[in-house]
């Protein structure tokens, strides 16, 4: 059944790109779009829905509590908010029989949360869907896993300022850097836990590929780049490949890559269209 009733958690940079792209490219408006946000973000959510109007959905509502949101009977919910939102709302949404698309994938480096979501999905006969977010090539990585993976090595490279507010600040003189510095080398699990706000790509690669412990991660502060650069190299039974992606920042949230919002849009368009690609 194609998507008619859509739930969204969050109304920030990713939700805006995902919903505006859906409104632009879908063949016909949805019956309903319901957004769940904390009360402090209700006016932001209302403004987003008002800006998209009937082209997005015939009925558009903002909810600030989960019960009212579930009463709207969304068929699919896309989380575009935060790790906390996945923890708080993920299990009851899946339990209610509603598919959950997750973009805050760093949250899933917590095994207990991941297991809880899986149990809720089994119980609710629903699905937990992980989008590729800021990185590409997840289809190839999963195919490579099925053939047998030997190694997955990820390098996350950002301008020094982008690492402010992280433990990198104590390890590197970010303001004075003249050369690239690798300030972290370790597992995807450690990267996701020590750098939670930069954890989404490492966690996505860990989940799609060889696991959180075996995926090797390098984090680099590089004064020579102006964008976030994600690279990963794979050796596997079906072939070796590497992917490099230079993300442009979202104009609404410079810490977020635009690609992540479009990856949610892709998932939603696949659910309203007749061809899935
Ligand atoms: N998978 C990836 O590669 C990838 C890439 C970039 C960002 N992300 C993740 O996507 C998420 C959203 O990013 P963004 O750039 O849209 O952030 P943002 O700060 O622009 O927007 C987040 C929005 O979520 C809502 N919100 C905040 N706290 C909430 C809560 N507890 N419950 C429900 N809603 C809440 C608010 O509307 C807020 O504006 C973040 O968790 C970020 O880490 C993932």
Nearest protein CA to atom 32 of ligand 1, as residue: 85
Dump pLDDT digits (tens) for 157-206. 999 998 999 999 999 999 999 999 999 999 999 999 899 878 899 999 99
Same domain, yes or no: 35 and 65: yes
pLDDT score, position 21: 98
Is 175 inside any structural domain?
Answer: yes
Atom of ligand 1 nearest to the CA of 107: 41
Is 233 inside any structural domain?
Answer: yes
Cβ proximity of 9 and 102 under 8 Å = no
Can you read off the two tokens belonging to residue 201? 């790509």
Taking the centre of ligand 1 as the mean of its atom positions, its distance from the CA of residue 57, in whole angstroms, is: 22
Strand order in the sheet with 149-158: 181-187, 216-221, 149-158, 228-236, 239-247
Same domain, yes or no: 205 and 156: yes
Give the H or E element holding residue 189.
Answer: helix 188-194
> Low-confidence residues of the chain, pLDDT below 50?
none
Taking the centre of ligand 1 as the mean of its atom positions, its distance from the CA of residue 80, in whole angstroms, is: 5
Is 277 inside any structural domain?
Answer: no
Q: Does residue 230 carry a catalytic annotation?
A: yes
The 3-class secondary structure across 92-107, one letter per residue, is HHHHCCCEEEECCHHH
Strands (E), the chain: 5-9, 30-36, 57-63, 76-79, 99-102, 128-130, 149-158, 181-187, 216-221, 228-236, 239-247
Nearest protein CA to atom 42 of ligand 1, as residue: 104
Nearest protein CA to atom 39 of ligand 1, as residue: 12
Same domain, yes or no: 65 and 92: yes
Name the nearest CA neighbour of 93 among 61, 65, 71, 70. 70
Is 13 inside any structural domain?
Answer: yes
pLDDT score, position 175: 93
pLDDT score, position 249: 82
Is 253 inside any structural domain?
Answer: no
Q: Where residue 191 sits, what CATH number does that domain have?
A: 3.30.360.10
Same domain, yes or no: 102 and 154: no
Q: Please, what's the largest Cα pairwise distance for the chain? A: 56
Taking the centre of ligand 1 as the mean of its atom positions, its distance from the CA of residue 178, in whole angstroms, is: 32
pLDDT score, position 56: 98
State which residues form the domain around 229: 138-247
Active-site option among 83, 158, 216, 230: 230
Same domain, yes or no: 128 and 142: no
Atom of ligand 1 nearest to the CA of 134: 3
DSSP-derived letter for residue 257 is B
d(CA 169, CA 136): 28
What are the φ/ψ torsions at residue 171 (nearest 5 degrees)? Answer: -95, -25
Same domain, yes or no: 119 and 206: no
pLDDT score, position 1: 74
Nearest protein CA to atom 27 of ligand 1, as residue: 81
pLDDT score, position 2: 87
Cβ proximity of 15 and 268 under 8 Å = no
d(CA 222, CA 204): 23
Same domain, yes or no: 206 and 262: no
Q: Where residue 100 sits, what CATH number does that domain have?
A: 3.40.50.720
């Amino acid at each position: 059944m194609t998507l008619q009733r859509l739930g969204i958690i969050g109304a920030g940079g990713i939700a805006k790109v995902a919903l505006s792209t859906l409104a632009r490219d879908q063949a016909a408006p949805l019956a309903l779009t319901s957004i769940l946000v904390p009360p402090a973000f209700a006016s932001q959510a209302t403004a987003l829905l008002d800006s998209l109007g009937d082209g997005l959905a015939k009925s558009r509502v903002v909810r600030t509590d989960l019960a009212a949101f579930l009463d709207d009977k969304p068929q699919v919910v896309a989380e575009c908010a935060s790790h906390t939102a996945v923890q708080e709302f993920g299990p009851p949404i899946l339990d209610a029989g509603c598919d959950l698309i997750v973009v805050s994938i760093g949250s899933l480096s917590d095994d207990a949360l991941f297991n809880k979501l899986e149990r809720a999905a089994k119980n609710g006969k629903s699905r937990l869907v992980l989008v590729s977010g800021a990185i590409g090539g997840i289809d190839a990585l999963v195919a490579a896993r099925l053939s047998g993976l030997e190694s997955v090595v990820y390098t996350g490279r950002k301008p020094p300022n982008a690492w402010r507010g992280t433990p990198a600040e104590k390890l590197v003189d970010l303001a004075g850097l003249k050369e690239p510095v690798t300030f972290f080398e370790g597992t995807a699990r450690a990267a996701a836990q020590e750098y939670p706000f930069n954890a989404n790509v490492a966690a996505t690669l860990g989940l799609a590929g060889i696991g959180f412990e075996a995926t090797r991660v390098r984090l680099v502060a590089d004064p020579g780049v102006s964008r976030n650069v994600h690279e990963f190299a794979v050796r596997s039974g079906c072939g070796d490949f590497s992917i490099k992606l230079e993300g442009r920042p979202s104009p609404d949230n410079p810490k977020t890559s635009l690609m992540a919002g479009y990856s949610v849009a892709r998932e939603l368009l696949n659910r309203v269209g007749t061809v899935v690609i």
